[in-house]
């Protein structure tokens, strides 16, 4: 759930991430072609950056990217990468966070995703100059990390979502009391968020307390409803915030495919998707496992 304090946001983060990737040798300098990220609104409240496919395929395929919390919007390089692979990409801000309207956690973030999908197919009108794009995806995928991984898992309950990737997801909010203490010494997590992120999150104590109910926005509450074959989880054993054994038990109980890494900390979605893209692409394209139900034991 945490971010590194030295991370930047917006366009500056794109340059930083590209420089890191080039210097580490993880990607070649030619991996990305700089393209404009457009902006649009869905359901009047949800602001989303988007990119059409840079390499149109026979089928229009859409990937929705889900942010962690707290974090700053910095998945633009990942959106560029996926666009180059032939996918449309939507990168929304949660209701009540950053550019979007509303109050954070007044509604489940999974509801934000379903509300976006409700508007499809559509002609997306970008905010700056009014240019429109036809968005009519035949296949919809969701990728998210940490808090966003929670949303990705729950989005799989929507029959319109074909497959999801969840990186270091919160699978049970029962960890919250201990996890919060790893992020801040402030006895009020909501007060910490207000001080550290200002209006980046319009969050009340009442809405934050919903996570402690056990039923609101909680994959563990829906474990018997999940279709295991639609979900792939990546997690690292040295994750300092989300215990890997909890995720392993959740995956075992649900039958979800788990790729457990020895190291990696609180995994970055961009790094995971690029490093394991061949495996993720095969998972997306595998049609033999689409109707396999989750285990109920």
On whether residue 139 sits in a domain, the answer given is yes
Residue positions counted in the chain? 297
pLDDT tens profile 170-226: 999 999 999 999 999 999 999 999 999 999 999 999 999 999 999 999 999 999 999
23 Cα distance to chain centroid: 26
Please report the pLDDT score of residue 58 as a whole number.
84
**Burial track 169-186 (b if 16+ CB lie within 10 A, e otherwise):** bbbbbebbeebbeebeee
On whether residue 293 sits in a domain, the answer given is no
Range of the domain at 19: 10-285
On whether residue 226 sits in a domain, the answer given is yes
On whether residue 63 sits in a domain, the answer given is yes
68 DSSP 8-state letter: -
What is the token pair recorded at 277? 């893209």
Residues of the chain falling short of pLDDT 50: 2-32, 291-297
The reply to whether omega before 121 is within 30° of 0 (cis) is: yes
On whether residue 291 sits in a domain, the answer given is no
In this structure, what CATH number is given to the domain that contains residue 70?
3.40.50.1820
Please report the pLDDT score of residue 288 as a whole number.
65
pLDDT tens profile 114-141: 999 999 999 999 999 999 999 999 999 9
Please report the pLDDT score of residue 1 as a whole number.
54
Best CA proximity match to 228, nearest among 286, 148, 170:
286
67 vs 76: CA distance, rounded Å:
11
CA dihedral of residues 99, 101, 102, 103 (deg, nearest 10): 20
The residue with tokens 């229009």 is 60
Please report the pLDDT score of residue 19 as a whole number.
40
On whether residue 4 sits in a domain, the answer given is no
On whether residue 296 sits in a domain, the answer given is no
Tally of domains in the chain? 1
């Amino acid at each position: 759930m945490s971010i590194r304090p030295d991370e930047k946001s917006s366009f500056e983060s794109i340059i930083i991430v590209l420089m890191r990737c080039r210097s580490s040798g993880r990607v070649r300098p030619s991996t990305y072609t700089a393209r404009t990220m457009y902006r649009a609104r869905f359901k009047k409240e949800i602001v989303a950056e988007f990119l059409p496919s840079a390499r149109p395929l026979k089928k229009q395929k859409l990937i929705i990217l889900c942010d962690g919390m707290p974090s700053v919007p910095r998945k633009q390089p990942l959106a560029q990468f996926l666009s180059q692979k032939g996918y449309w990409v939507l990168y929304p801000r949660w209701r009540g966070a950053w550019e979007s309207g509303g109050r954070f956690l007044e509604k489940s973030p999974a509801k934000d995703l379903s509300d976006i999908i409700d508007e499809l197919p559509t002609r997306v009108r970008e905010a700056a100059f009014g240019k429109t794009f036809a968005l009519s995806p035949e296949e919809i995928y969701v990728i998210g990390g940490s808090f966003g991984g929670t949303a990705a898992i729950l989005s799989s309950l929507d029959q319109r979502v074909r497959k999801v990737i969840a990186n270091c997801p919160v699978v049970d909010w029962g960890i919250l009391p201990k996890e919060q203490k790893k992020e801040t010494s402030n006895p009020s997590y909501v007060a910490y968020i207000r001080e550290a992120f200002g209006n980046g999150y319009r969050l009340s104590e009442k809405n934050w307390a919903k996570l402690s109910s056990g039923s609101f926005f909680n994959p563990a509450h829906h474990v018997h409803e999940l279709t295991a074959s639609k979900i792939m989880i990546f997690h690292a054993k040295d994750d300092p915030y989300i215990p890997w054994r909890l995720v392993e038990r959740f995956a075992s109980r649900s039958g979800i495919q788990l790729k457990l890494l020895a190291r990696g900390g609180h995994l970055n979605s961009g790094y995971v998707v690029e490093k394991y893209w061949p495996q993720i692409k095969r998972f997306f394209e595998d049609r033999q496992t689409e109707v396999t139900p989750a285990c109920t034991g």
